[in-house]
Amino acid sequence: MRVHHLNCISSCPLGGKLFDGRTPSLLRRGELTCHCLLVESDEGLVLIDTGFGLRDVADPRGRLSAFFLVMLKPEFREEMTAIRQIERLGFSAEDVRHIVLSHLDFDHAGGLDDFPHAKVHMLRVERDYAVRQRTWLDRQRFRPQQWSTQQNWEFHDTTGGDRWREFECVKPLTQSMDDIALVPLGGHTFGHAGIAVRKDSGWLMLAADAYFFHTEMDVERPRCTPGLALYQWMMDKDRVARRWNQARLRGLCAGDNLSERVDVFCSHDPIEFERIAGRSAGVPAEAFKQRARSRV
For residues 60 and 53, give the distance between their C-alpha atoms in angstroms, rounded to a whole number.
10
Task: Answer yes or no: is pLDDT of 176 > 90.
Answer: no
Pairwise pLDDT comparison (121 vs 292), residue with the higher score:
121
Q: Which pLDDT does position 288 carry in this prediction?
A: 52
Pairwise pLDDT comparison (288 vs 270), residue with the higher score:
270
Other C-beta atoms lying within 10 Å of the C-beta of residue 69:
17
Q: How confident is the model at residue 257 (pLDDT cuts 50, 70, 90)?
A: low
Q: How confident is the model at residue 201 (pLDDT cuts 50, 70, 90)?
A: confident
Query: Can you identify the CATH homologous superfamily of domain 2-295?
Result: Ribonuclease Z/Hydroxyacylglutathione hydrolase-like (3.60.15.10)
Residues 207-235 have a mean pLDDT of: 97
Q: How confident is the model at residue 294 (pLDDT cuts 50, 70, 90)?
A: very low
**Closest C-alpha to 276, from 18, 37, 12:** 37
Q: Which pLDDT does position 255 carry in this prediction?
A: 79
Q: How confident is the model at residue 258 (pLDDT cuts 50, 70, 90)?
A: low
For residues 156 and 235, give the distance between their C-alpha atoms in angstroms, rounded to a whole number.
23
What spatial distance separates the first Cα and last Cα of the chain, rounded to whole Å? 7
Q: Which pLDDT does position 162 carry in this prediction?
A: 85
3-state secondary structure of 280: coil
Write the pLDDT tens digit of every residue in 53-62: 999 999 999 9
| Residue spans per domain, the chain | 2-295
Residues 205-210 have a mean pLDDT of: 98
Residues 226-252 have a mean pLDDT of: 96
- Report percent pLDDT > 90 for the chain: 82
Q: Which pLDDT does position 163 carry in this prediction?
A: 87
Residues 255-266 have a mean pLDDT of: 82
Does residue 172 have a cis bond before it (omega within 30 degrees)? yes
Burial 158-189 (b: 16+ CB within 10 A, else e): beeeeebbebbbbbebeeebebbbbbbbbbbb
Q: Any residues with CB less than 8 A from the CB of 148 and at least 6 apart, and which?
A: 112, 113, 116
Q: How confident is the model at residue 286 (pLDDT cuts 50, 70, 90)?
A: confident
Residues 254-271 have a mean pLDDT of: 86
pTM reported for the whole predicted model: 0.94
Q: How confident is the model at residue 141 (pLDDT cuts 50, 70, 90)?
A: very high
Write the pLDDT tens digit of every residue in 48-84: 999 999 999 999 999 999 999 999 999 999 999 999 9
Task: Answer yes or no: is pLDDT of 293 > 60.
Answer: no
Pairing of strands 96-100, 44-48: parallel
Task: Answer yes or no: is pLDDT of 21 > 80.
Answer: yes
For residues 24 and 279, give the distance between their C-alpha atoms in angstroms, rounded to a whole number.
20
Task: Answer yes or no: is pLDDT of 290 > 70.
Answer: no
Chain mean pLDDT for the chain: 93
Residues 209-222 have a mean pLDDT of: 96
